Structure 1
Amino acid sequence: MNSFLDFKNAQQKPQTPIGGTTEDLGTWKPPPLGVIKVNWNASMNASNGKPGFGIVAREHQGRVLAYKKLSKSSFLDPLLAEAQGVLYVVDLIIELGYSLTILKGDSHLIIKGLMQDQPRWDEVGMILSNTMKILFYLDSWNATFVKRNGNVYAHLLAKAILSLHKGLVDLVVNPDTLQPVTPI
């Protein structure tokens, strides 16, 4: 029950932006040249507790480089699903070979957990710790909060995958935009 209250509180507007700036009007804004912006969202099916995840990576002109939607049959906690979603994001970033990245999500607690060096000793904290270990390998990264209307595409991907009854992963990559992968 406490996790649900954390999740609900995290969706409320913060007094000041956490770990960067919010996108003022809630609309998507392009990243600087050479930087990839990755939006993610986790949605929950209230009847069965199944989460759906939507991830979309774009470049400075707004062109979609890749998107991924996936569902799992295991999580019941919304905040835990958001944490797992950002871990899926960094796994995708590494897989595609991007090293300059801005992460955008609509969970204040997850963004705060990534940007502040204060460990959490629960399941969410363990996932964020794993995420941070992977982010260490990037040349540069930042995570900032985005309002739902600036995260629409990722949200729609997460909702769309929930309509399927089985766990599924759907990854679409524009092959013209892949970066050469260098070993870590």
Structure 2
Amino acid sequence: MQMNVLWRPPKSGVIKLNFDASFASNANFSISAVLARDSDGQIMGACTYPLLDAADAFMAETRACERALYFALDMGFRKVVLEGDSLTAIKKLNSNIVDKSVFSLFLSTFGF
């Protein structure tokens, strides 16, 4: 089975942050990666972050999202679009429902 994945650029003046995480359940360890590109597809920055206490894959993905937002702040990006492959994390980002999860707590830090 072959999948064709096409990257779509953000609008002009916006930076797209792609984030992902890899999780090793036997070690409760994950690595997050963030890639920032502009509307021309030019790479504006990239980074990786280790997470030594990841409880599960969802936590790894949500922390990758968190790292993407901190990366945007550190780089001075003010208009951003987030893109990741964790459907649960993306749904929480787009939801107005506040719950008691750690992810909701971190989202409130950024004004979501």
TM-score range, shorter chain: 0.7 to 0.9
Instruction: Give the residue type in structure 1 aligned to 2:7.
Output: W
Question: Is there any run of 5+ residues in structure 2 with no aligned partner, and where?
Answer: none
Larger Rg: 1
CA distance in 1, matches of 2:88, 2:60: 12
Aligned length: 109
Q: Which has the higher helix share?
A: 1
**For 1:58-77, what aligned pairs fall within 5 Å after superposition?**
58-77=37-56
Runs (4+) of structure 1 exceeding 2 A deviation are 125-129
Answer whether contact 2:25 2:56 (CA < 8 A) is retained: no
Residue of structure 1 in register with 2:90 after alignment = 111
Deviates more, 1:106-115 or 1:69-78: 69-78
Residue of structure 2 in register with 1:127 after alignment = 103
Answer whether contact 1:87 1:128 (CA < 8 A) is retained: no
RMSD, aligned α-carbons? 1.5
CA distance in 2, matches of 1:135, 1:31: 21
Post-superposition offset of 1:87: 0.8
Please give the TM-score of this superposition, normalised by the length of structure 1.
0.55
Instruction: Give the residue type in structure 1 aligned to 2:77.
Output: Y
Larger relative contact order (CA 8 Å, sep ≥ 6):
1
Please give the TM-score of this superposition, normalised by the length of structure 2.
0.88
Q: Which has the higher strand share?
A: 2
Question: Is there any run of 5+ residues in structure 1 with no aligned partner, and where?
Answer: 1-24, 137-184
CA distance in 1, matches of 2:111, 2:48: 21
Answer whether contact 1:41 1:82 (CA < 8 A) is retained: yes
